[in-house]
Amino acid sequence: MQIARSFPRVHGGRYALLLVERRILLMVLDLLAVNGALWIWLHLRPEIVVRLPHWFLLVSVLYLFAAFVFDAYEPRGSVRFPSTVLSVAKAGLTAAALFLLIPYLPPPLPTARSLLFAFPLLALAALVGGRGLYALIFTRPVFQRRTLIIGAGWAGRTIAEALSSYGDGSYEIVGFVDDDPAKHGARMAWKGGETRPVLGDRHRLPELIAAHRIDTLVLAITHEVDGQLLQMLADCLELGVEILPMPVLYEQLTGQVPVEHVGDNNWYVAMPLSHPLTRTINRAIKRGMDLILASLGMLVLAVLFPFIALAIYLDSPGPIFYTQERVGKGGRVFRIYKFRSMVPEAEKERAVWAQENDPRVTRVGRILRRTHLDEFPQFWNILKGEMSAVGPRPERPEFVEELAREIPFYRVRHAVKPGMAGWALVKYGYASSKEDAMIRLQYDLYYIKHWSPWLDLVILCKTVVDTLTFRGRA
């Protein structure tokens, strides 16, 4: 291709890192920190001989799991030092506490209190030091991906905002490319006050890539990619640049599928045609996890039920349980069970969205909702196979009909069983409006596309943390 030969690719000594490379680098630094802290702690105890590598393997597994639960590898927080320190501090202290409390597998606990607390403190210091080193070095321009956005419309500004808010130093936006002559030379602005210029049209792409040392092109157009643009993108690939559709990059950055910006040429991004739970083995694994968790949950519920029932009745005489129709997998309607948290007959005329600090919520109901205890009767729905422990929260039929008419791809969330806990719930919270429903759908679609037992475990642990810290809805 003549164009590619005319503009040779020059990196100029730069070491632009991909998002996945940054995440791996952070994991390596963190694991070096916690394992280094453990090594020093063991050598502070001369009676312990370092002969069992499983100690280091155990602390590594515990830390990585805690790190995902506390969002230590979210792109948004990896170089914002206060945010990253808080995340790794929670993960490090949690992993250290679990490591010391597990019987038989870790080294025996020391008798001296100073040595007992030495390991958590050493791990915390090493983790904070590693994140400080990362923030100091890997935010420099030499490690950033110089980025050009193709399309200066709504989708282009949306991905620019996502790169600024969530990219955390990974991407440096150089400017936009757009075929509209009226936009050439103008500066595009997005939320946050940042602006970048429109540098030209598609025909200038090879020239701009060479002149600005571009590493990444983001394709932020929702219309069909014509043959000429496709050939131009092929030429750009030959120059060595990375080309990402806007929805794919947005998903990597935010954990959401941008349904509003999915056009005719990339509809498949929002439509998980062959998602993991279409496979029999995955459905069997998920059902097995559901049965185990629901059985344990029913045992806990049996212990708590007399106390919860008495508190509900004394605070607001009336039914203990509350049932309501919800839409499940395949659009089938079922009855969901909950402890009543509102006054009797809270909805006399029509269905309404529950609001933050809803006046219909009773005093005991507020506590139940804060701790998610009002949801515990849904373990019965899980045993019956109507729900899963993790999945999109089920919505009421009245709302589903309205939302499906107004929000694209809304019914796709019914491709899997609804859940007690969910990706949208731990990342965003409960929906109280159509706007909230749109954002929750974006998280739900991400969950359906990326389901794994690991993701379910992370979501469940996040839900437990929310329960213990009273971060449920009011």
d(CA 355, CA 369): 12
d(CA 44, CA 38): 10
d(CA 415, CA 271): 10
**Residue 213 near residue 16 (C-beta atoms within 8 A):** no
pLDDT at 265 over 70: no
Handedness of CA 128, 133, 136, 139 (dihedral sign): negative
d(CA 106, CA 302): 34
User: Letter for the amino acid at 86?
Assistant: L
Q: How confident is the model at residue 353 (pLDDT cuts 50, 70, 90)?
A: low
Q: How many helices (H) and strands (E) does the chain have?
A: 16, 10
d(CA 334, CA 89): 43
Q: How confident is the model at residue 407 (pLDDT cuts 50, 70, 90)?
A: confident
d(CA 66, CA 61): 9
Q: How confident is the model at residue 6 (pLDDT cuts 50, 70, 90)?
A: very low
Owner of token pair 């914002």: 80
HSE-CB at 267 with a 13 A cutoff on CA atoms is 8
Return the pLDDT at 3.
42
**Residue 413 near residue 335 (C-beta atoms within 8 A):** no
* Domain parsing of the chain, residue ranges: 19-137, 140-269, 276-468
Return the pLDDT at 360.
85
Return the pLDDT at 289.
96
Return the pLDDT at 216.
93
Please provide the average confidence, as pLDDT, over all residues in the chain.
Answer: 87
pLDDT at 147 over 70: yes
Q: What is the pLDDT of residues 148-198, one digit of tens each?
A: 999 999 889 999 999 988 877 789 999 999 999 999 989 999 887 889 999
Burial, 307: exposed, middle or buried (Cβ in 10 Å; 0-12, 13-18, 19+)? Answer: exposed
- Largest separation between any pair of C-alpha atoms in the chain: 82
pLDDT at 322 over 80: yes
HSE-CB at 221 with a 13 A cutoff on CA atoms is 18
Higher pLDDT, 278 or 169: 278
Averaged over 23-50, what is the pLDDT?
89
Residue-by-residue DSSP string for 390-443: ESPPPB-HHHHHHHHHHSTTGGGGGGS--EEE-HHHHHT----SHHHHHHHHHH
Pairing state between β 388-390 and 195-197: unpaired
d(CA 150, CA 180): 11
Residue 4 structure tokens = 């590619």
pLDDT at 2 over 60: no
User: Residues 149, 153, 154, CA angle at the centre, nearest 5°?
Assistant: 105
Q: How confident is the model at residue 50 (pLDDT cuts 50, 70, 90)?
A: low
Q: How confident is the model at residue 28 (pLDDT cuts 50, 70, 90)?
A: very high
State the CB neighbour count (10 A cutoff) for residue 184: 17
Query: Can you give the pTM of this predicted structure?
Result: 0.86
pLDDT at 368 over 60: yes
**Residue 248 near residue 270 (C-beta atoms within 8 A):** no
Consecutive H or E run containing 421: strand 419-421
**Lowest mean pLDDT, pick from 93-97, 249-253, 293-297, 429-433:** 429-433
Q: Hey, what's the torsion of the CAs at 368, 369, 372, 376, to 10 degrees?
A: 60
Consecutive H or E run containing 146: strand 145-150
d(CA 27, CA 362): 45
d(CA 362, CA 53): 53
**Residue 404 near residue 263 (C-beta atoms within 8 A):** no
Instruction: Tell me the CATH class for 140-269.
Output: alpha beta
Residue 369 structure tokens = 């909702």
14 closest CA partner among 182, 151, 146: 146
Q: What are phi and psi of 14, to 5 degrees?
A: -85, 155
Q: What is the pLDDT of residues 66-108, one digit of tens each?
A: 999 999 998 766 556 777 889 999 999 999 999 999 988 888 8
Which CA distances in Å does 61 have to 14, 31, 116? 33, 9, 21
Averaged over 400-425, what is the pLDDT?
91
d(CA 102, CA 319): 42
| DSSP conformational letter for 4 | H
**Lowest mean pLDDT, pick from 39-53, 333-347, 397-411:** 39-53
**Residue 374 near residue 305 (C-beta atoms within 8 A):** no
249 closest CA partner among 183, 140, 161: 161
Percent of the chain at pLDDT exceeding 70: 90
Residue 226 structure tokens = 């014509």
pLDDT at 208 over 90: yes
3-class secondary-structure state, position 345: coil
